[in-house]
Amino acid sequence: MSKSVEVLLIEDNSGDVLLIRQALADEPYPITLRVARDGEQARKMLASREFGPDIVILDLSIPKRSGLSLLEQVQPDVPVVVFTSSTSPQDRQCSFELGVTEFIHKPTDLRAYSRTVTQMVRNWVPLKEILASTNS
């Protein structure tokens, strides 16, 4: 059985969820995308033993519990990439202080958006192990 890359996307904007799903659909390895639509749902998913993501993609502006508030409570032991429309230096600084791996401003250009999404997964997920398991 081949292993897929497990991505937890914490995003409440349906358009962004669709764009990210489409960008990752073209990758040459299997990807399982799970979506949390708010900070409380994300907290529960991260606390669950049933799901262990390889990477967390986090929007800061989410309902019920902001992305920063979520990071204050939960420190995932996998890369966390903040993918946000925020350009606030305070958000960026706070994110890194709370342990995020990367802070990326969402591009407005569709092609750049897609490239950015695939690049963040390629940068932070140990794909060599994934590809080895899909070829065996």
pLDDT in tens, 91-117: 999 999 999 999 999 999 999 999 999
Domains in the chain: how many in total? 1
| Domain membership of residue 38 as a residue range | 5-135
- Indicate the pTM of the whole model: 0.89
* CATH number assigned to the domain comprising residue 104: 3.40.50.2300
The token duo for 114 is 């897609």
Taking alpha carbons only, the member of 74, 79, 16 closest to residue 44 is 74
67, 92 Cβ separation under 8 angstroms: no
**Predicted local distance difference test score (pLDDT) of residue 50:** 75
Kindly give the parts of the chain with pLDDT less than 50.
1, 134, 136
